[in-house]
Amino acid sequence: MASDLISNANDTNFGTEVLSSDKPVLVDFWAVWCQPCKAVAPKVDNIAKSYPDTLKVVKVDVDSSPKTAMAYNVRSIPTLLVFKKGQVIGQVIGNQDESKIRALLAGHV
- What is the residue-level pLDDT of the chain in tens, covering all 109 positions? 457 899 999 999 999 999 999 999 999 999 999 999 999 999 999 999 999 999 999 999 999 999 999 999 999 999 999 999 999 999 999 999 999 999 999 988 8
pLDDT digits (tens, 9 = 90+) for 39-64: 999 999 999 999 999 999 999 999 99
Clarify whether 102 is annotated catalytic. Answer: no
Domain limits of the chain? 6-105
Concatenated DSSP letters of 83-109: EETTEEEEEEESS--HHHHHHHHTTT-
Burial call 91-107: b when 16+ CB within 10 Å, e when fewer? ebeebbeeeebeebbee
Q: Is 39 a catalytic residue?
A: no
Residue 78: Cβ within 10 Å count: 25
Pick the catalytic residue from 6, 9, 18, 37.
Answer: 37
Global pTM value: 0.94
Q: Does domain 6-105 have CATH number 3.40.367.20?
A: no
C-alpha distances in angstroms, 95 versus 23, 29, 42, 73, 92?
24, 12, 11, 18, 9
Catalytic one among 34, 41, 81, 82? 34
